[in-house]
Amino acid sequence: MKFAEFCDYLLKLEKTTKRLEMFDTLSDMFSNIDNEEIAKAVYFIQEELLPPFYNVQLGIADKVAEKAIAEAYSVDVKGLSQEYSKKGDLGELAEKYNKKNTGSEVSLSHVYNKIFDITKITGDGSVELKIKSLATLIKEVSGLESKYIIRFVLGKLRLGVGEATIMEALSKSKTGDRKFKLELERAFNLCSDLGYVAEVFYKGGEEKIRRFKIEVMRPIRPALAERLPSVHEIVKKLGKFAVDQKFDGFRSQVHKDGDKVKIFSRNLEDITHFMPEVAEAVKKLKHKRFIFDSEALTYDENTNMLYPFQITMQRKRKHGVEEKAQSLPLRLFVFDIMLLDDKDLINEPFIKRREILDKLFEENSSLARTKMIITDSESEMTKFFDDTVSNGLEGVVAKKLDAPYSAGARNFGWIKLKRSYGAALEDTIDVVILGYYRGKGIRASFGLGGLLVGVFDEKADTFKTITKLGSGFSEEQFKELKRILDDIRVEHKPARVDSILQPDIWVSPKYVLTLKADEITRSPTHTAGLENGTGYALRFPRAVSFIRKDKRAEDCNTVRDIIEMFKDQKSVKLKN
C-alpha cells in the first residue's frame, strides 16, 4: 500500500468521534493491505514499531524533529521552535512547510523500514545522523505524510484505536464479520504481539490462529483475578480450592531458553536489566526451557522482612542497578508455570501446574514459591488470610483447582481478597485520565485545576466517565500533569470515550491514576454503568498515586468492577 493511501485512512481515524466509524475505516484499510504489510500497519496504528518487550526505542526528541523539519524544508529552526511552542503540534508544522500536496509513491513498508533504521543509529554523531535520516524521509513525501511521520516518531499520533477494535476490524476484513475476533484475541493473549497475530492470520488463515500456541520469549498477557468481598462469598463460589499469598510487588513473567533469560513486567516491558540477581538464579535452574509467573519484592537481608511496593519501585532504574541490588536485593515469589521444556501447560488444571512448579527448584535468597493451602473451610481460609496480612502481605488469591491459566482474562478462576475488602470502598480504584479543566483561583497559574477520569468498559471497548478529580496532588504535580497531558491533548472527544461532560481539554486515554473515594453513588452525570439515565460516580475522590507507569489505560478498573464494588458497599451498610 502506498503510504499516502495509508495516511488518508489515518486522517479519517483522526477525525472520527465514533467508534463504529473507526471500525469501518480500519476494516476497509485492512482489506486493502497485503500479507507482507499487515503487521507494519497494525504496529503503526498502535503507535509503536514493535511491542515494548522487543526494546526498540525510537529515541526521537522534539528538538531532533524540529531540526529535521528545518533541514528538510529550509526553515529557520529558531522560528520553528517558537511556532511549535504556540501551536503544540510538530506534525502540523511539517505539513505546513511541506509544499507537496500530492501523495508520494513510497510504500508503507518503505516508511516503516526507514523509521526502523533510525532506531539502529547509535554512537558518536548519532543525533546528527538521525536528523539527516528523518529529514531525508519527510522530504520525499507529501505534507500529510510528513505530518503523520513526525507525529509517529514523537509518539504523538493520537489515533486512540484500541486493541479490541483492531481485532474486530481484522476479523471483518478477512472473514466478513467480527466473530473471529475471539480467536484473534486468544492468540494475542498468548503472545502479546498484535502485529505478529495479524501476519499469522493473513498468511496462515483461520486454522493457523486456532492452533496458535505460546512461545518462549514472547510474553503471555498475565492472568487476572476477580474480586469478592468476603471469605464466605469465596467459599460459596469455589467449594474446594487453593489459597495463595498475594504480594504487592513487580508482577514478573520469567522466560528461560537455554542460557537466555528474559523477565517481563505486568505491562510486558523487558525488565531483565534491573533484576540481575534474579536472572542469574533463573539461569542456574536445571530445566532448559520454561515460563513462569511471579511477583518480585525487595527485602531486608538482616531481618528477611519484605519491603512495601514504594521501596521495591526504587529498583526500577536504568543506571546504578548493581549498587541498588546490594542495598535492596530482590526475591522472586513464583506462583504459576505455563510452559516446561516443550510442554505447554496453559490449559492444564491449576493444581497440576502447581505440582509441577513445586518440583522445579529449591528455594534460595532470590527464588521462592508462594505459600499455599488447599481448603473448603471458611475458618481455615480466614486463618491463612489473617496470617498472611499480619506478615505484611497484601492479601490472598483463591484459585479453582481445575482452572487453566487464563491469559489476559479476568474471571472467577482466580479471586483476590485484600486486607482492605469488607469495608465500604476502602479499596483503591485505578482510573484513566480523559481530559482536564483549566484552573481557577490559585490553580489558574498551574493551567490545570481538575481532571475528568473514567473506567474501562470491556464489552464496548470504551472509557466511561466516573468522576472529576481535583484532590490529592501537590502544586508541582498539578504543573507536571499539565505538561504531560498537553503532550496527548486532542481537538475533540476521542472515539473510545463515552462522556456527557465536556472538559476544557480532551486527551487521549493513556495515563492511569490510583484514587480513593468515600463511596460509590448513582449519578445522571457520568456514563460508567449508565442505564435508564443513571450511571455510577465517586463521592469525594482523592488521588493516592501520581501517574502509574506500570499500567496501560485498559488496565484500569472496569465498569463491572465498579458495579460489584457498589453492591459490596451496599451489603456492608446493610450489615452495619
Marked catalytic residue, from 67, 147, 156, 246: 246
Q: Which three cell numbers stand for residue 392?
A: 505484611
Q: Give the strands of the sheet with 241-246, arranged side by side.
A: 224-227, 410-418, 395-400, 241-246, 372-375
Of the candidates 152, 201, 167, 173, the one whose C-alpha atom is nearest the C-alpha of residue 44 is 152
What lies within 8 Å, CB to CB, of 110 at 6+ separation is 3
What lies within 8 Å, CB to CB, of 417 at 6+ separation is 227, 228, 230, 231, 234, 246, 385, 395, 396, 397, 398
**521's torsion region: left (phi>0), alpha (psi -120 to 50) or beta?**
beta
- The rounded distance, in Å, linking the Cα atoms of 90 and 152 is 11
Of the candidates 403, 390, 446, 429, the one whose C-alpha atom is nearest the C-alpha of residue 512 is 429
Task: Let me know if 318 is a catalytic residue.
Answer: no
Q: Which three cell numbers stand for residue 503?
A: 472538559
> Are 449 and 470 in contact, with CB atoms under 8 Å apart?
yes
Could you write out the three-class secondary structure of 444-478? HHCCCCEEEEEEEECCCCEEEEEEEECCCCCHHHH
Distance from the Cα of residue 549 to its chain's centroid: 9
- Which residues participate in catalysis according to the annotation? 246
